Chains A and B, each alone.
Chain A
Amino acid sequence: DGGITQSPKYLFRKEGQNVTLSCEQNLNHDAMYWYRQDPGQGLRLIYYSQIVNDFQKGDIAEGYSVSREKKESFPLTVTSAQKNPTAFYLCASWTYTGELFFGEGSRLTVL
């Protein structure tokens, strides 16, 4: 079945460590997005990519990095520079008909 797969579902990080969240889609969508979700807040855009080998910063890009080497894959690295990384992270891809589809999310906890 077509969809967006995020892994891992749960991730624990020690302070000072970088971690990478995986996002893979087989929907043949060009545009992919990473959002951060905190309790009681709306989704906040971290990074997005409209096409392979190109990506743009969103509203809260500091402390994060991404790559887009393949159309299907858009991994997010949470670096040690991100001071408050504990959150629920959502990957999404967008159709040109105007619909955004989400993965199941990854919950990152800093120990």
Chain B
Amino acid sequence: GQQLNQSPQSMFIQEGEDVSMNCTSSSIFNTWLWYKQDPGEGPVLLIALYKAGELTSNGRLTAQFGITRKDSFLNISASIPSDVGIYFCAGDPIRNYGGSQGNLIFGKGTKLSVKP
């Protein structure tokens, strides 16, 4: 089946540092989504990407939709303690019939820890 490879699995950084994580796949995607999940809570959508090459920012977060449509990255600049959590990517793959059912493929997440 289709899979997303998300890396790194975990990161332990100093407050103020920049963070970068990425997702790759052997499949082509229509859409890339990035989420943040706090312990015991539902994932919150951070950024949605719709076109190859698209670069989108949300505050200190920046994400890009890879040109090949098979990858995406998320950067967090000047990390702060509240950035702690699990970040994961999700992709909406192109399907044979051309449509989309919203059945996303998910990465396994990057656990971010920030040291004050």
Contacts and interface: CB of A to CB of B under 8 A. Distances in A.
B72 interface: no
A107 interface: yes
A70 B40 CA distance: 28
A4 B48 CA distance: 19
Given A42-B108, A100-B45, A105-B41, A48 B103 contact: yes
Interface string A66-86: 000000000000000000000
Interface residues of B, number: 25
Nearest to B41: A104
Contacts of A58: 103
Interface in A7-53: 31, 33, 40-43, 45, 48, 50
Nearest to A4: B42
Interface string B27-39: 0001101010000
Interface of B: 4, 30-31, 33, 35, 40-45, 48, 50, 88, 90, 92, 100-104, 106-109
